Structures are given as structure tokens and as C-alpha cells.
Structure 1
Amino acid sequence: MPEVLVPASRWPRWVDNFATGHGGTDLSVADGALRGVAEDGSHFTARLPFDTAYDGPAEAGAFAHAAVVPGTWGVLLVRKGGFAVARMAGAAMVEHKIGQRHVQGRTKAGGQSQQRFARRRDNQARQAYEAAADHAARILTGVRLASTGGDHVAVDAVLGDTRLSSVTVVKPWLAVPDPRRAVLDAAIADTQAIQVDVTNA
């Protein structure tokens, strides 16, 4: 069941295209989501961004209108090779930081040499996560909702910092490469998108 991310502005057109491709589609609202079932058996379940429950009419336009961006939110992306963190005011970025860190790659050597490399990599990764946590704690002060992505272990390590204990992680999980500005910009857009699970008959 693939998940697609659809910008709210394109949602009514997406639903129209789904109905055109699969036959007339009945829309309904259940469990805080909009569900569509087509004549050929294909169906989708759409959820609003920021884990917002939907309880409005079963209409594509109304659902898109309900995809409201919070006044303050954030994005945190972490991998061993770097991090990106942003503070948002609605759809506008007000502060961000992108950092790269060198974490040694794996070695094919065995024995004590391999153990030394492993310790060095672990130390480098820990220092990278600590640096990411310092910037995240500063930039995300007062932020309640944030999307995350990159490497699960790395993100968990950063969010384990007590200074970030007030941050609630929202879907979707963002599978991103080493963070750069373009990657951060795409993550910001994806966080604001409608999340759709689609099953084609």
C-alpha cells in the first residue's frame, strides 16, 4: 500500500484524477480521515498533515481547506553525515541550521583495527548528534510539533536530549539523504502535504 504526499492545493484535482482512472468514487469520513472507494475496488485513505483529525464533510475541497499549517512548528533531519533543523511560522521558515559532520566509513580490516575504527565511528557519531541536539534545542525552543527524518537511530539520539522533551513528532517519517538545503526545503513541503494510502485494484 504505497503512500503518496499530495499538496493541499492539488488535492481536489488528485481526487478527480483518481475517480477518472478508477470509476466513480464515493467519499466518506471515518476515524479522522477521508476515504474514497472507486467502482473498480480501488480505494484511498487520506489524512491531514500534523496528525490533525478531520471531521468535516466528505468533500475533497473541504478536506483540502482543513489542511491548516500550525503557527509554529519545526523540522528535524539527522543522519550520521549531518543534520538540518528549521523553525517555521506557518509556511515561512524563520530560522534554520544545516551542519555536516565527518563520520568515518566502515573498514574491512579485522581484529583490533576493526574495533578501533568502530569506537572512532561511534565517538564521531555521538559528537555529531550532540551538535545537532544543541542547534535543535536552540532553534526549536517553544516548538510543540515537529516532523523528523533521516536515520531513525540518529533522530532518536537527538530527541533523547531533555531540552527537546516538549517536542511531539508528527507524521510522515521523512526518508531523506544527508541533509542539504534542497533536502530541507523538500521535507518542509512534504510535512505540509496530505498523506494518502492508496490501494489499486
Structure 2
Amino acid sequence: MTAKPAAGGGRWVEISPERLRGWLDGFYGRHQGADEDGLVLTGASNGDQATLHPPPGLDGATDVDTLLTGLATPPRIGLLLARKGAVAAGIADGTTITASKVERFHVHGRTAAGGWSQQRYARRRDNQADAVAGKAADIAERVLLPEAGGLAALVCGGDRGLLDAILEDRRLAPLAALRHPRLLEVAEPRLAVLEEAAVAARKVRIHLVP
């Protein structure tokens, strides 16, 4: 279980599907029971609240029982991870990657020079970024697009701006329509990072107040 502060108060925790029942039992036990309103639990003893956010592909779950049932049969999702130096695309059945492609790119870093030279390098970096987005879109087309009809969601991770640029490609419109709002924090994409992303994407996010 991981936890971090939430904007506006409270904190976020992330729970693996296998541990959610135990976490719920603990919440009820700590609060002498709880009232359920859809996916919002309110502690009976002090009014603490826990709002459950289903993982990508299970957005139709509107109550705890439906969520637990859905978690027992993980949906098939697509993964697209991108940073300037690399991109990874994969299909995940549960935590198993069944198809994938990882590619690294060479991108020039910044230069300390000023004036004309700096502008020249900036234009080169912009051109390289466009080229990376295009090549990444090619990879997504090969790995993800043929499976789009069978995917419950597309989960992205890494550089939001680069991901936006990739999914602006008209070929990927069916994938863009499946994009989940959750953005995973990932290291530079490689196969191991893609496998870790498949695990992270299945976790249930819970907003706890206080």
C-alpha cells in the first residue's frame, strides 16, 4: 500500500486488488462500522470518509460489491508509456503483458550557449520531439490499435505533453477515445517498467479524509 497527501486535504492510498477486502475489513473495524453510499464509506465512530476510485476498465462499478466482483476478473487494458528518450506500448491481461514493444530514441540535451546557437539547438530539439511523437505513434498503431476493440481502457504514463502529442495522431483516434484520466508516474520506459505499470494500473485509489 502506498500513500501520499491529496490536494485539498486528506491523503491518497493505493491498494492492490488482492488486499482490498482486508483493507475494507480494517476500515470497518477501526470505525466501529461504516455507512456505504455507493463507493463512499463513512466511519460510524467519527465520520472519517473513504472514497474508492475503481482502476481503469472498471469505471462502471458504482458500489463496493460491484467493484470487488470486477476486480476478480481483471479487464484487458492497453498501456502507453512515453518519455523523450523512450516509448513502450503493451497489452495487459491482468498483470501479464501479452504483447509489447519498447524503443529508445536519441534526443539532444540543452546547450549552455546563447543567441543563434541556442535557438538552433532549440529548433533541433523541437524537430526531434516531433519525430519521437511520430515514431511512438507508429509503435502504438502496430501494438495497440489492432486490439482497441477488445480493450477496456488505455492507461498512459510518463510525459503528459508527449503522450498528448502521440495520441493527436489521427490514426490513433480509437485509442484516444479509450484514454483513462489516470496518469502513471513511471521511469524511462523499458519492459520491466511496462510490467510494473500493469501492476500499478490495477490498483484501487482511495481518498481518505481526514
**Fold equivalence (TM over 0.5):** yes
- Are the structure 2 counterparts of residues 54 and 43 from structure 1 closer, same or farther at C-alpha, using a change threshold of 3 Å? same
**What residue number does 1:199 align with?**
209
Letter of the structure 1 residue corresponding to residue 165 of structure 2: A
- Are the structure 2 counterparts of residues 35 and 126 from structure 1 closer, same or farther at C-alpha, using a change threshold of 3 Å? same
- Are the structure 2 counterparts of residues 27 and 138 from structure 1 closer, same or farther at C-alpha, using a change threshold of 3 Å? farther
* Residues 51, 170 of structure 1: 8 Å contact kept: no
2:179 counterpart SS class:
strand
**What residue number does 1:150 align with?**
158
Letter of the structure 2 residue corresponding to residue 148 of structure 1: C
Letter of the structure 1 residue corresponding to residue 48 of structure 2: S
1:9 counterpart SS class:
helix
**What residue number does 1:69 align with?**
74
1:142 counterpart SS class:
helix
Residue correspondences, number:
192
- Deviation per residue, 1:154-201 (Å, 9 max, x gap): 00111111121001112421122211222211211111221212222x
Calculate the aligned-residue CA RMSD, in Å: 2.0
TM-score (norm 2): 0.82
**What residue number does 2:141 align with?**
137
**What residue number does 2:3 align with?**
none
184, 187, 193: which one aligns with 2:197: 187
Matches of 1:27 and 1:100, distance apart in 2 = 50
Letter of the structure 2 residue corresponding to residue 116 of structure 1: R
1:28 counterpart SS class:
strand
Q: Does 1:14 align with 2:35?
A: no
Poorly superposed stretches of 4+, deviation over 4 Å: none
In the alignment, structure 1 segments of 5+ residues that lack a partner are: none
Matches of 1:124 and 1:47, distance apart in 2 = 37
Q: Displacement, 1:11?
A: 0.1
**Aligned residues with identical type, % of pairs:** 32
Q: Displacement, 1:23?
A: 2.3
* Residues 29, 55 of structure 1: 8 Å contact kept: no
**What residue number does 1:98 align with?**
102
25, 32, 40: which one aligns with 1:24: 32
**What residue number does 2:47 align with?**
41
Matches of 1:24 and 1:108, distance apart in 2 = 61
2:37 counterpart SS class:
strand
Q: Displacement, 1:115?
A: 0.4
* Residues 95, 195 of structure 2: 8 Å contact kept: no
Q: Does 1:159 align with 2:167?
A: yes
* Residues 94, 198 of structure 2: 8 Å contact kept: no
In the alignment, structure 2 segments of 5+ residues that lack a partner are: 1-5
